[in-house]
Amino acid sequence: VELNVKELNFFEKEHLSPEFLKINPFHKVPTISDDGFVIYESTAICLYLLNKYAPDSDLYPKDLQKRARVDQVLATVTSFVQPRYEEFYRNCAMLTKKPTAQQVQDLEETALKGLEHLVGDGKFAVGDALTLADLSLVAYLSYSIMMPVLDRERFSKLVSYYERVSAEMPHFAETKAIAEWHAQKWSALK
């Protein structure tokens, strides 16, 4: 799928511009427009693009139980993990201050321990092939793994999963650079 990417500058509050609010009243990214059909929220976008351009892809298995497990991971990430990440990284993303020890512990006890369960014990989160569940999990883990907060020893299962699965995603390096940039800037914060 060929995309025309337009990045928004959050520091300049471009996500709050009248132009962007017309297409996404929730002022969040990602948002896409496919010949005028606007859709937002990562999971909805992924499912739309898969159904339109690659309906037979293994990224969204045909097997009912595997598909249900993928849906479960996606829903858990959206409803449980994402809000905790947003709360934790809000200041970090704006590069204002590092989190307190209590904030780190809260993230570990809620989101990271939950993510350990979601990644499972196999090569991938669901079955023996890369799925949308893995794409979602790796995207969230990229910040945890790269930021100098995660206890890599304590969460070695997440680190191993992230390294193994992201290596299977050829275009991941393009988006990984954003998390690396934030990690670099964050290292200088107090």
Range 64-187 has CATH code 1.20.1050.10: yes
Portions of the chain given CATH number 1.20.1050.10? 64-187
User: By CB neighbour count within 10 A (0-12 exposed, 13-18 middle, 19+ buried), where does 128 fall?
Assistant: exposed
In angstroms, the CA 173 to CA 34 distance is 25
Q: How far is CA 76 from CA 26, 96, 144, 161, in A?
A: 20, 29, 17, 18
pTM of the model: 0.86
**pLDDT per position in the chain (190 positions), as tens?**
788 888 888 778 899 999 999 999 998 889 999 999 999 999 999 999 999 999 999 999 999 999 999 999 999 999 999 898 888 877 665 667 777 888 888 888 889 999 999 999 999 999 999 999 999 999 888 878 877 777 889 999 999 999 999 999 888 877 777 777 777 777 777 6
Structure tokens at 102: 């209590």
Check residue 172 and give its pLDDT: 80
SS3 154: coil
Alpha-carbon span 105 to 99, nearest angstrom: 10
pLDDT at 91: 62
The DSSP 8-state label assigned to residue 24 in this structure reads -
User: What is the Cα–Cα distance from 176 to 143, expressed in whole angstroms?
Assistant: 9
CA–CA dist 14, 107 (Å, integer): 28
pLDDT at residue 72 in the model? 96
**Number of other residues whose CB lies within 10 A of the CB of residue 149:** 20
User: Which spans in the chain are helix H?
Assistant: 18-23, 42-53, 64-76, 82-93, 101-107, 113-119, 132-146, 156-166, 172-187
CA angle 151, 124, 48 (to 5 degrees): 110
**For residue 95, what pLDDT is reported?**
60
